C-alpha cells in the first residue's frame, strides 16, 4: 500500500503507462526471468519488443547474484523443476536483499501440490507484485481449488476482495487478469478494459505480461521515478493490452496474433497509449479480510 492521500486519476494512470514505456525503451532494464519452459522464447521476445533486456538465469549459484543486480525479476511457477525451485528461492532472497522489485506468477496453483507449496513460501517473502488469473489468486489465498491448469474458471472481479487482502499482506500490488484486468494495492484499485480474447488463445499471453510488469517495475524503481507497484503493474498492463488490440486488428488467427503482438509492442506510440487506455480508478472499500 502506498502513501498516496488520494487515488490517481485515470488520466494520470494512462500517462504513467506512456511515460514508463518511454523509460523502458530509453533505459532497457535488465529483466531477470525464471519462467516456465513453455513460454521462455516468447517471453524474451516480448521483453525485447517492449525495449527491455531479458535474461533467463534459472540455475542455483547464479540466480541470487543476478537477481540482486537486475532491474526487475519475474518468478513464474509454470514448470517448477527442482533446479528452478531452488533458483527461485535464491532469486527472491537476492532481490529482497538488494531491493530489486519482483513479480510472482503462481501459474496453476491450487490443484498441483509442488508449486502450491512453493507459491505459498514465496508469497511469504512479499513479492512486489502478484500476477495471476482469478482462480490462481483465489488458490494462492487458500480459497477455491484452482483452475484447470493455466485456465481460469472465474472472472477477475470474483477475486477482487481476495486480491486486496493479499496486497495488504505483501505490501505490494496484486494483478488479476481477465476481460477487465483488476489491479489493487488494497487501498486503490485500477481496472483496465483493454485487450483482446486472442490473448487467451496463445500460450504465455499472461506469462509474458508478468515479465513486462517486472521490466516496468525495474524501470520505475531504478531511475528515480514512481516506485509504486500499483502504477507500474497497471502501466505494464495498459501497454501490453493496447498493443494486443493492434495485433488483433491485423491477425488472421492466433499464430499471426502472437507474431503481431511483438511487432505492435515494438511500434507502439506512447501517445496512442494515453488516448486509448480504458482505465478506471477507485478507492478500495475495506473488507473483512482487511480489517482482520
Q: Are the beta carbons of 140 and 107 closer than 8 angstroms?
A: no
The vertex-102 CA angle with 185 and 79, nearest 5°, equals 110
What is d(CA 242, CA 275) in angstroms, rounded to the nearest whole number? Answer: 10
How many other CB atoms are found less than 10 A from the CB of residue 178? 18
Beta carbon of residue 139, minimum distance to its own copies (angstroms, whole number): 14
Total number of residues binding its own copies (CB under 8 A)?
62
Beta carbon of residue 65, minimum distance to its own copies (angstroms, whole number): 7
- Nearer Cβ to its own copies (36/194): 36
Beta carbon of residue 15, minimum distance to its own copies (angstroms, whole number): 24
CA distances from 1 to 36, 45, 166, 230, 283 (A): 29, 32, 11, 8, 12
Q: Are the beta carbons of 216 and 24 closer than 8 angstroms?
A: yes
By the rule CB under 8 A, 98 interacts with its own copies? no
Q: 10, 22, 98, 111: which one contacts its own copies (CB under 8 A)?
A: 111
For residue 38, the SS3 value is coil
How many other CB atoms are found less than 10 A from the CB of residue 253? 10
**Which residues in the 218-237 window bind its own copies by CB under 8 A?**
none
Q: 45, 133, 135, 177: which one contacts its own copies (CB under 8 A)?
A: 45
Q: How would DSSP label each residue in 73-139?
A: EEEE-SS--HHHHHHHHHHHHHHHHHT--EEEE-TTTTT-HHHHHHHHHHHTT--SEEEEEHHHHHH
Give the x-and-dash track for 233-272 against its own copies (CB under 8 A): ------------------xxxxxx-xxxxxxxxxx-----
Listed ranges 156-164, 202-210, 228-236, 271-279: which one lies at the site for its own copies (CB under 8 A): 202-210
Q: Are the beta carbons of 230 and 183 closer than 8 angstroms?
A: yes
Listed ranges 88-96, 104-112, 175-183, 211-219: which one lies at the site for its own copies (CB under 8 A): 104-112
By the rule CB under 8 A, 108 interacts with its own copies? yes
Beta carbon of residue 149, minimum distance to its own copies (angstroms, whole number): 3
- Nearer Cβ to its own copies (46/231): 46
Question: What dihedral do alpha carbons 213, 236, 245, 158 form, nearest 10°?
Answer: 80
Q: 149, 179, 197, 286: which one contacts its own copies (CB under 8 A)?
A: 149
- Nearer Cβ to its own copies (81/282): 81
CA distances from 237 to 84, 139, 195 (A): 26, 22, 9
What is d(CA 224, CA 284) in angstroms, rounded to the nearest whole number? Answer: 27
Beta carbon of residue 108, minimum distance to its own copies (angstroms, whole number): 7
By the rule CB under 8 A, 151 interacts with its own copies? yes
Q: Which residues bind its own copies (CB under 8 A)?
A: 28, 30, 36-42, 44-45, 48-49, 53-62, 65-66, 69, 78-83, 108, 111-115, 148-151, 201-204, 251-256, 258-267
Amino acid at each position: 500500500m502506498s502513501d498516496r492521500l488520494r487515488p490517481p486519476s485515470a488520466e494520470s494512470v494512462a500517462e504513467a503507462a506512456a511515460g514508463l514505456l518511454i523509460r523502458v525503451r530509453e533505459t532497457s532494464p535488465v529483466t531477470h526471468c525464471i519462467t516456465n519452459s513453455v513460454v521462455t522464447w516468447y517471453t524474451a521476445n516480448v521483453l525485447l519488443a517492449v525495449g527491455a533486456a531479458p535474461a533467463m538465469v534459472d540455475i542455483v549459484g547464479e540466480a541470487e547474484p543476478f537477481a540482486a543486480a537486475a532491474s526487475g525479476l519475474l518468478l513464474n511457477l509454470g514448470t517448477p523443476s527442482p533446479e528452478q525451485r531452488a533458483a527461485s528461492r535464491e532469486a527472491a532472497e537476492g532481490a529482497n536483499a538488494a531491493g530489486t522489485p519482483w513479480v510472482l506468477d503462481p501459474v496453476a496453483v491450487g490443484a498441483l501440490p509442488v508449486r502450491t507449496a512453493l507459491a505459498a513460501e514465496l508469497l511469504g517473502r512479499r513479492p512486489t507484485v502478484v500476477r495471476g488469473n482469478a482462480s490462481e489468486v483465489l488458490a494462492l489465498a487458500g480459497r477455491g481449488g484452482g483452475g484447470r491448469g493455466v485456465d481460469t474458471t472465474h472472472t477477475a472481479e470474483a477475486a477482487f476482495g481476495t486480491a486486496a487482502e493479499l496486497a495488504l499482506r505483501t505490501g505490494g500490488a496484486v494483478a488479476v487478469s481477465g476481460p477487465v484486468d483488476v489491479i489493487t494495492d488494497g487501498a486503490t484499485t485500477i481496472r483496465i478494459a483493454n485487450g483482446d480474447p486472442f490473448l487467451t488463445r496463445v500460450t504465455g499471453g499472461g506469462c509474458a505480461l508478468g515479465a513486462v510488469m517486472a521490466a516496468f517495475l525495474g524501470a520505475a524503481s531504478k531511475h528515480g521515478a514512481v516506485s509504486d507497484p500499483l502504477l507500474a503493474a497497471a502501466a505494464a498492463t495498459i501497454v501490453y493490452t493496447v498493443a494486443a488490440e493492434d495485433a488483433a486488428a491485423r491477425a488472421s488467427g492466433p499464430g499471426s496474433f502472437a507474431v503481431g503482438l511483438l511487432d505492435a509492442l515494438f511500434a507502439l506510440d506512447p501517445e496512442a497509449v494515453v488516448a486509448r487506455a480504458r482505465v478506471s480508478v477507485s478507492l478500495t472499500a475495506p473488507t473483512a479480510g482487511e480489517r482482520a
